[in-house]
């Protein structure tokens, strides 16, 4: 990728009540990466918290929209428009119900897949060809009576201790995926990361 601005977005809900919930996997992951590169996300602009740094010769914005999940796209679109960042140079990190807990998957584009934050980003950008790092949270377990917690409650519930430990063990892999996206592009990031996270998550008794 030539020298240009890159926007890395973590999705979540603002406020302490949501801090360690499954739906905030994107916030937690981007905060971890920000700590790794020494750029805490503390500046405020357009209903978002952000930081700016230089990595691999590029200007990199790290962004946490502070509207609730279903309005995340407003902030993302403002940043992208103002700093002239094309969708292909945006990477969004978010939780994913359809991946088992601990699985990390990078994709170049796609639909919303039922995720309200991604749906909002697509709507406000007017495009779906932005990259994503999907962090698996699995679906609500089904009880012996055949019932399960509603998805809306499940994603807003806190990680179990086992899920939290597994998630933390995968944060280095997420950070590596972000670095590869910035330095070498989406294809290299996908090829390097997607075959490895399933092995790391296997045998944990989750999902």
Q: What CATH number corresponds to the domain at position 11?
A: 3.40.50.1470
User: Residue 197 falls within a domain, yes or no?
Assistant: yes
User: Residue 92 falls within a domain, yes or no?
Assistant: yes
The pLDDT tens digits for 42-58 are 999 999 999 999 999 99
Q: What's the token pair of residue 159?
A: 């990680």
User: Residue 174 falls within a domain, yes or no?
Assistant: yes
pLDDT confidence tier of residue 200, bands split at 50, 70 and 90: very low
> Which residues belong to the active site?
23
**Predicted local confidence at residue 40, as pLDDT:** 94
**Predicted local confidence at residue 52, as pLDDT:** 95
The pLDDT tens digits for 1-38 are 445 899 999 999 999 999 999 999 999 999 999 999 99
**Predicted local confidence at residue 102, as pLDDT:** 84
Phi, psi values for residue 114, rounded to 5°: 85, 0
List the domain range (segments joined by +) for residue 81: 6-201
Q: What's the token pair of residue 39?
A: 């750029």
Buried b (16+ CB within 10 A) or exposed e, 170-190: bbebbbbbbbbbbeeebeebb
pLDDT confidence tier of residue 202, bands split at 50, 70 and 90: very low
User: Residue 136 falls within a domain, yes or no?
Assistant: yes
Chain-centroid distance, C-alpha 168? 14
Kindly report which listed range (83-92, 104-113, 174-183, 189-198) carries the lowest average pLDDT score: 189-198
C-alpha triplet 39, 192, 176: angle, nearest 5°: 15
User: Residue 207 falls within a domain, yes or no?
Assistant: no
**Predicted local confidence at residue 144, as pLDDT:** 62
Q: What's the token pair of residue 155?
A: 């994603």
The pLDDT tens digits for 134-170 are 999 988 877 666 667 788 899 999 999 999 999 999 9
User: Residue 1 falls within a domain, yes or no?
Assistant: no
Separation of alpha carbons 104 and 203, rounded Å: 15
% of the chain exceeding 90 in pLDDT: 75
Q: Would you give the end-to-end CA distance of the chain in angstroms?
A: 36
Helix (H) or strand (E) holding 77: helix 72-82
Q: What's the token pair of residue 111?
A: 């639909």
Separation of alpha carbons 122 and 185, rounded Å: 20
Domain count within the chain: 1
**Higher per-residue pLDDT: 150 or 104:** 104
**Predicted local confidence at residue 113, as pLDDT:** 82
User: Residue 206 falls within a domain, yes or no?
Assistant: no
Average pLDDT of the residues of the chain: 89
pLDDT confidence tier of residue 207, bands split at 50, 70 and 90: very low
């Amino acid at each position: 990728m030539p020298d240009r601005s890159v926007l890395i977005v973590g999705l979540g809900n603002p406020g302490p009540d949501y801090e360690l919930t499954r739906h905030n996997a994107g916030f937690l992951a981007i905060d971890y990466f920000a700590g790794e590169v020494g750029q805490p996300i503390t500046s405020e602009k357009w209903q978002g918290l952000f930081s700016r740094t230089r990595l691999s010769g590029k200007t990199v914005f790290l962004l946490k929209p502070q509207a609730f999940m279903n309005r995340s796209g407003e902030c993302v679109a403002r940043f992208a428009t103002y700093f002239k960042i094309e969708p292909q140079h945006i990477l969004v990190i978010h939780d994913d119900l359809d991946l088992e807990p601990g699985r990390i998957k990078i994709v170049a584009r796609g639909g919303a897949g039922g995720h309200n934050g991604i749906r909002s980003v697509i709507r406000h950008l007017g495009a779906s060809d932005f990259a994503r790092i999907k962090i698996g949270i699995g679906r609500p377990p089904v009880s012996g009576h055949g019932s399960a917690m509603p998805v809306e409650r499940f994603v807003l519930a806190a990680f179990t201790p086992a899920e939290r430990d597994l998630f933390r063990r995968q944060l280095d892999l997420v950070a590596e995926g972000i670095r590869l996206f910035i330095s070498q592009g989406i294809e290299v990031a996908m090829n390097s990361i997607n075959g490895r996270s399933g092995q790391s998550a296997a045998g944990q008794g989750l999902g």
